[in-house]
Structure 1
Amino acid sequence: MSRHPAIAYLDGHRLRLALQVGVHQLLSRQQHLNKINVFPVADGDTGTNLSLTLHAMLGGLRARPERHAGRALARVADAGLDGARGNSGAIMAQFFQGLSDAAAAHARLSPDHFAVAAHAGASYAREALSEPREGTLLSVLSAFAEAVRQQAARRRADFITLLDDALQQSEIALARTPDQLAVLRKAGVVDAGAEGFVELLRGMRDFLSEGEARRPPAATIAGLDGEAAHAHEGDEAQATHRYCTECVVLGEDMDPRKLREALTDEGDSLVIAGARHKLKVHLHTNQPDRAFNIAAGFGEVHGQKADDMWQQQRDVSNRSRKVAIVTDSAADIPDKLIDELGIHVIPVHVRFGEASYLDKLSMSWEDFYRRLDEDPNHPATSQPAPGEFRRIYQMLASHYDSIISIHVTAAASGTWQSAVSAARRLEDADIHVVDSRSVSAGLGQLVMAAAEKAGEGADARAVLEHMEAHRDRTRVWGAVADLSFGVRGGRVSPAKQKIVDALHLTPVLTARRNGKVDAGGVLFGQSRTVERFTGFVARRARKGRHYRLLVGHCNAAEEGQALLDALRQRIPEVDALPLVPVGPALGAHAGPGTLVASLQERDVDDPRTP
């Protein structure tokens, strides 16, 4: 390796370039890191989480370049807290928080300054965990910090020598991780998060040694690099807790230790990163809503996330499916079938005033309708951000040949466009984003049809053709009990409500073939809705055709079950799915008491749903 003149200091500019090359080096190994991820949970996303975390950090510098090293690190640390993903990402963010705090006053970092900062970073990272474990990223961070300290103590060390030695010692510590953690030894792999840090360090060292921002070939997101792939197949039991839960808490003079104590009994893998004005929470739990509520007692909660690790573990062990199916929570699907069919659901955001929630994760449907009744603020729903789609797409691309992402009609929501924006940034992944042109139970039926075909081992083309065929044969209607909620949400004019109430009508909404959701008819009268709506739907089922039926309700389970039972009797050839509660995406505008029915005409040779 050619050597350039010794580098006596790092300023913000040089730090940014070195970090940029380090991030690209890590990206080149993203697939490999996903494949060897077995601790703390074998959910196959460590490479993706570290990549997203470090991209966020780099974005903090790109947005506003900074020559002052201390201020540059402060921006990196702050961006890292906002963008940290997963256990390793949260630990990495806290490491940079320690670097930042220790280096804050220095415009240029000398080896001595850097040694003090590295020690602070390793200490911060260890203190952030409720149960620190050796054989993880923590062990390699400690080895790195000690190597930097020893080199700096020699007084003649420059940054090239310092990082050369620190990289060697970090690689040695990485190789020892299987001896320290039995789960790694059993799988025959090193710790994925620790290896991610070593890759970052290697890229930074290469930049400083070679004197240019040399970028390694970009990682192939969709393919497998083959190395260590599936090394942990069958070795890991299901994670004790289901959701990898994260949020950022903003406040004044918050106490991280008290927040840690409050969350300790809520799950495991708890990491509290950050400073007293901004804390990043990472927790594995079965009740994300409880964790978010506890965090809200310390400050304002932002950036809520709850990934289903049980589903991710199934993805890691996937051998028969070529295609992953993704949708958003506007799709109303029975919970049991979401699990059985392996569907990945990205939650819609729900806001009451200043309080924000994740549909069906941090707010259940029962809580939503209770809040809808009690809160003077009418709820607003918004699509997931492109970054949320990008994160799930990157993880799934490590385990599937293709991804088909099916979403609520683009005529009524920006969700489809958000998913398209994310897919365009992942050029090497085979991602197909589909506008369902439907809502609620109709969207749910289309997603299930695609997931069933994918479960047969079909490729993306066959799944898309199957879904497209069923899209034209899927109808959905909603009998709206009270138009006032549509008026409050701005979807219905007050004049229309006055006419409907004066004539004692029950409006029926439908999703048309172009995706527009509007009036599909009326029921005469505002009583006996189940009876009238049953007739309305049954008359639209053609004789001699076989249908699948999905009925939903907006906090009206008794009426929903009555509708389901009545339609079973009225439509001779029908397979009925379990009753499903309708979520906020429709419920915020249709209101409590609304009933939804979707009929999907099935092929003669389709297996009937029991």
Structure 2
Amino acid sequence: MALKNPIGIRYLSGPRLRRAVVAGAYRVIGSSDILDRINVFPVADSDTGKNMSATMWTVLQGLRGCRALSVGEVAGIVAEAALRGARGNSGVIMAQFFQGLAEGLAGERRVEIRGLARALGQAAARARQALACPQEGTILSAISAFAVRAEELAERLGDFVPVLREGLSAAREAVRRSRDILPALREAGVVDAGALGFLRFLEGIVHYISTGEVEEVRRTGPSPQSPQVKVRFNPASISFRYCTECTVKGKELPIQRIKAALSELGDSVVVAGSPSFLHLHVHTNTPARVLELARGFGKTAAEKVDDMWAEHAEAYGGPKQGHIALLVDTSCDLPDHLLTRYRIQIVPLRVRLGDAEYRDRVELTPRAFYERIRGVETSGTSQPPPSDFLEAFEKLGRAFQHVVALVLAADLSGTWNAARIAAEELKGEGIDVEVVDTGTLSAGLGLCTWAAARGAEAGLDPRQVVQLAREAAARVRFWVGLPDLSPLGRSGRVPWVAGWLSGRLRVGFVVSVGQGRIQPVAPAWGVRGLLSRIVSLAVEPLGEMRRPAAIIPHASATGVAEALAGKITECCHTGRLELHIVDASPALGVHAGLGAFGVALLDMGWAEGRIAELKGRG
């Protein structure tokens, strides 16, 4: 029989905790629609309700059939289920809250209110620690307000009911204030969806401890007084396209190092769990790199990649917000942190390994490509279909006034033509797209993209950014050392006979890449010979550069790339060299062969001066 009046509760047992969590979970699930509707921060993609509900369903499944009597054991079951099944930013933070609660209640058979309050304080701290960049006005503020108020009252009140009720009031006030803290919420006229989800969880618990009732799942929806959500279609606000998640199992997982590594690849980084089991969440433009990084730390599972562009486009529509969007194909070898910093979007080339095909950098990283290529008889790359460029141009065109696409050499691939066809199709739709044939690829394309990104950041107009990119591409010096020419011979980039002879005689070649051509420069025997020849070619250009930038791509040749980096550094006497080593795009590696390496150079001092000149003319 349900109790209609508040009941005094002096201790919390395992069964009571289980029923309380079930009550809270049902309240969150029943609020899914309103949480989706007000989802604005950090990305307006209308999925907070779905994600928090999915997290709570896994908790309910974990508790199904649970007969544990100790509060510590039940808390552990809840945390484990939440970490395995968490979805989205707020779902993973909730999982970390449960993890902290489980740690605080570990070994306890039952607990009084003071013990629970201490565990709540630990849970709030752990939730905050999970984020690379904690943000007030979010679910974190609601969790902290609840925990702080509970700790304040627990010392003088021995009853769970008034303490949790007052904690609920504090959390409700934190949710209300979220609108004043975050500009995005204030503009939309809503509170934070994740914070409201946590509040709904608490409401379910307090309703249960006050009445003894666990509400059935139902859609609560917004109240008639709820303001109209004012959200504009603005893909420009989504700097990182893919919401990427997975779990990692291992021993002594370095949580802070993982968090820092993910921060190099995107934002909204959440790392929840313990040193033996983690749930990772990040918004990124290179999901394959995120998953590869995770696999380097332990055994991964529950890998998930959601396209937030598509989710945002499905929910909203509106005017253009940004000025210039830069886009490249994935033959571009630019370090991940620079792609991240300049918000450069990508269109993936297709990569073939045997009968399987992957989207480069989205489904397979270059490093994984080189690991797998040894086990297949055939491999290759192909251009993206025009539809891939069309989709990217349309989505960027809704948010940006201009789109500049920098693509690999038209004489080396059909990628430029695919991009051109897509751009032509959009001419009558008011989407301004300029497709630039850079005449290069790999690190050469990376350097001219870097220069263009700096120009766009400095405020150049689209015509000037395109001009800067073309001039930079013409000035890039790019040499690649090939163990032999047979891969180029098979692909038709050099005469077949030259490739065959090179393979038979084991003669390597240094080739130059640029102006739409791959040209043999000089033969060399062995890796040392190739390395020495490339360094000798780089000495003179380096001496003429005020602020040289160098990118060293390699096809599974890390040691040689590091040796080349050392030699290039020795040759540079300005003290202003910026050098990066990257895994070469499969677009280069397939034709250059395993073990290939190279260096591309561009004077960023020239780029800075040219940007200033162009701005002066504007």
What TM-score comes out, normalization by structure 1 length? Answer: 0.52
Instruction: For 2:30 and 2:275, locate their aligned partners in 1 and report how far apart those are by CA, in whole Å.
Output: 35
State yes or no: 1:283 paired with 2:311. no
- The structure carrying a bigger helix percent of its residues is 2
Instruction: For 2:244 and 2:155, locate their aligned partners in 1 and report how far apart those are by CA, in whole Å.
Output: 41
> Does the residue aligned with 2:215 lie in a helix, a strand or coil?
coil
Cα pair 1:27 1:219 within 8 Å, conserved = no
Per-residue deviation, residues 487-540 of structure 1 (Å, max 9, x unmatched) = xxxxxxxxxxxxxxxxxxxxxxxxxxxxxxxxxxxxxxxxxxxxxxxxxxxxxx
Q: Which residue of 2 aligns with 1:363?
A: 363
> Does the residue aligned with 1:302 lie in a helix, a strand or coil?
strand
Moved more, 16-25 or 178-187: 16-25
Q: Which residue of 2 aligns with 1:48?
A: 50
State yes or no: 1:65 paired with 2:53. no
Q: Which residue of 2 aligns with 1:249?
A: 248
Deviation at 1:109, TM superposition (A): 2.2
Instruction: For 1:357 and 1:200, locate their aligned partners in 2 and report how far apart those are by CA, in whole Å.
Output: 44
Q: Which residue of 1 aligns with 2:125?
A: 123
Instruction: For 2:160 and 2:306, locate their aligned partners in 1 and report how far apart those are by CA, in whole Å.
Output: 39
Instruction: For 1:78 and 1:205, locate their aligned partners in 2 and report how far apart those are by CA, in whole Å.
Output: 23
What is the letter of the counterpart of residue 180 of structure 2? D
Q: Which residue of 2 aligns with 1:88?
A: 90
Deviation at 1:18, TM superposition (A): 1.4
Instruction: For 1:181 and 1:236, locate their aligned partners in 2 and report how far apart those are by CA, in whole Å.
Output: 19
Q: Which residue of 2 aligns with 1:231?
A: 230
Cα pair 1:32 1:224 within 8 Å, conserved = no
What TM-score comes out, normalization by structure 2 length? Answer: 0.52
Instruction: For 2:254 and 2:195, locate their aligned partners in 1 and report how far apart those are by CA, in whole Å.
Output: 28
Q: Which residue of 2 aligns with 1:262?
A: 261
Cα pair 1:38 1:236 within 8 Å, conserved = no
Q: Which residue of 2 aligns with 1:274?
A: 273
Cα pair 1:238 1:313 within 8 Å, conserved = no
CA shift in 2, pair 1:148/1:61, >3 Å: same
State yes or no: 1:106 paired with 2:108. yes
Larger radius of gyration: 2
Q: Which residue of 1 aligns with 2:41?
A: 39
Instruction: For 1:16 and 1:229, locate their aligned partners in 2 and report how far apart those are by CA, in whole Å.
Output: 37
CA shift in 2, pair 1:82/1:63, >3 Å: farther
Cα pair 2:288 2:365 within 8 Å, conserved = no
Higher relative contact order (CA 8 A, sep 6+): 1
Cα pair 2:243 2:305 within 8 Å, conserved = yes
Q: Which residue of 1 aligns with 2:314?
A: 315
Superposed counterparts of 1:182-197, under 5 Å: 182-197=183-198
Deviation at 1:152, TM superposition (A): 0.6
Q: Which residue of 2 aligns with 1:406?
A: none
Instruction: For 1:202 and 1:377, locate their aligned partners in 2 and report how far apart those are by CA, in whole Å.
Output: 60
Moved more, 20-29 or 58-67: 58-67
What is the letter of the counterpart of residue 64 of structure 1? C
Per-residue deviation, residues 428-476 of structure 1 (Å, max 9, x unmatched) = xxxxxxxxxxxxxxxxxxxxxxxxxxxxxxxxxxxxxxxxxxxxxxxxx
Q: Which residue of 2 aligns with 1:8?
A: 10
What is the letter of the counterpart of residue 162 of structure 1? V
Instruction: For 2:377 and 2:81, locate their aligned partners in 1 and report how far apart those are by CA, in whole Å.
Output: 31
Deviation at 1:92, TM superposition (A): 0.6
CA shift in 2, pair 1:173/1:256, >3 Å: same
> Does the residue aligned with 1:248 lie in a helix, a strand or coil?
strand
Cα pair 1:147 1:165 within 8 Å, conserved = yes
Q: Which residue of 1 aligns with 2:139?
A: 137
Count of residues paired in the alignment: 343
Q: Which residue of 2 aligns with 1:571?
A: none
Deviation at 1:284, TM superposition (A): 0.5
Deviation at 1:375, TM superposition (A): 2.8
> Does the residue aligned with 1:247 lie in a helix, a strand or coil?
strand
> Does the residue aligned with 1:76 lie in a helix, a strand or coil?
helix
Instruction: For 1:269 and 1:307, locate their aligned partners in 2 and report how far apart those are by CA, in whole Å.
Output: 14
> Does the residue aligned with 1:171 lie in a helix, a strand or coil?
helix
Instruction: For 1:126 and 1:360, locate their aligned partners in 2 and report how far apart those are by CA, in whole Å.
Output: 34
Superposed counterparts of 1:575-586, under 5 Å: none
Instruction: For 1:75 and 1:32, locate their aligned partners in 2 and report how far apart those are by CA, in whole Å.
Output: 28
Q: Which residue of 2 aligns with 1:168?
A: 169
CA shift in 2, pair 1:43/1:360, >3 Å: farther
Instruction: For 1:62 and 1:225, locate their aligned partners in 2 and report how far apart those are by CA, in whole Å.
Output: 35
Instruction: For 1:194 and 1:58, locate their aligned partners in 2 and report how far apart those are by CA, in whole Å.
Output: 21
CA shift in 2, pair 1:191/1:365, >3 Å: closer
Deviation at 1:298, TM superposition (A): 1.1
Cα pair 1:230 1:316 within 8 Å, conserved = no
Per-residue deviation, residues 128-150 of structure 1 (Å, max 9, x unmatched) = 11111110011111100001101
Instruction: For 1:357 and 1:310, locate their aligned partners in 2 and report how far apart those are by CA, in whole Å.
Output: 23
CA shift in 2, pair 1:63/1:211, >3 Å: closer
Cα pair 2:33 2:219 within 8 Å, conserved = no
Instruction: For 1:252 and 1:318, locate their aligned partners in 2 and report how far apart those are by CA, in whole Å.
Output: 46
What is the letter of the counterpart of residue 253 of structure 2? M
Instruction: For 2:377 and 2:73, locate their aligned partners in 1 and report how far apart those are by CA, in whole Å.
Output: 40
Instruction: For 1:235 and 1:166, locate their aligned partners in 2 and report how far apart those are by CA, in whole Å.
Output: 37
Moved more, 87-96 or 369-378: 369-378
Superposed counterparts of 1:520-531, under 5 Å: none
Cα pair 1:187 1:231 within 8 Å, conserved = yes
Cα RMSD, aligned residues only: 3.2
Instruction: For 1:300 and 1:357, locate their aligned partners in 2 and report how far apart those are by CA, in whole Å.
Output: 24
Q: Which residue of 2 aligns with 1:298?
A: 297
> Does the residue aligned with 2:237 lie in a helix, a strand or coil?
coil
Deviation at 1:230, TM superposition (A): 4.1
> Does the residue aligned with 2:264 lie in a helix, a strand or coil?
helix
Per-residue deviation, residues 142-163 of structure 1 (Å, max 9, x unmatched) = 1000011012111x33111111
Deviation at 1:369, TM superposition (A): 8.2
Deviation at 1:244, TM superposition (A): 0.4
Q: Which residue of 1 aligns with 2:436?
A: none
Instruction: For 2:224 and 2:63, locate their aligned partners in 1 and report how far apart those are by CA, in whole Å.
Output: 31
Q: Which blocks of at least 5 consecutive residues in structure 2 are unaligned?
A: 319-351, 379-618
How high is the sequence identity, in percent, across the aligned residues?
A: 37
Superposed counterparts of 1:285-434, under 5 Å: 285-317=284-316, 362-364=362-364, 374-375=374-375
Instruction: For 2:359 and 2:102, locate their aligned partners in 1 and report how far apart those are by CA, in whole Å.
Output: 35
CA shift in 2, pair 1:375/1:135, >3 Å: same
Cα pair 1:32 1:227 within 8 Å, conserved = no
Instruction: For 1:101 and 1:265, locate their aligned partners in 2 and report how far apart those are by CA, in whole Å.
Output: 30
State yes or no: 1:212 paired with 2:246. no
Instruction: For 2:312 and 2:197, locate their aligned partners in 1 and report how far apart those are by CA, in whole Å.
Output: 20
Deviation at 1:357, TM superposition (A): 12
Instruction: For 2:85 and 2:213, locate their aligned partners in 1 and report how far apart those are by CA, in whole Å.
Output: 27
> Does the residue aligned with 2:243 lie in a helix, a strand or coil?
strand
Deviation at 1:218, TM superposition (A): 4.3
Instruction: For 1:29 and 1:142, locate their aligned partners in 2 and report how far apart those are by CA, in whole Å.
Output: 22
Deviation at 1:188, TM superposition (A): 0.7
Instruction: For 1:276 and 1:351, locate their aligned partners in 2 and report how far apart those are by CA, in whole Å.
Output: 35
Cα pair 2:289 2:361 within 8 Å, conserved = no
> Does the residue aligned with 1:304 lie in a helix, a strand or coil?
strand
What is the letter of the counterpart of residue 24 of structure 2? G
Q: Which residue of 1 aligns with 2:160?
A: 159
Superposed counterparts of 1:424-463, under 5 Å: none
What is the letter of the counterpart of residue 133 of structure 2? E
Per-residue deviation, residues 278-316 of structure 1 (Å, max 9, x unmatched) = 011100000011111111121111111110011111112
State yes or no: 1:21 paired with 2:23. yes
> Does the residue aligned with 1:165 lie in a helix, a strand or coil?
helix
Superposed counterparts of 1:587-602, under 5 Å: none
Cα pair 1:144 1:166 within 8 Å, conserved = yes
Deviation at 1:182, TM superposition (A): 0.9
CA shift in 2, pair 1:229/1:278, >3 Å: farther
What is the letter of the counterpart of residue 171 of structure 2? S
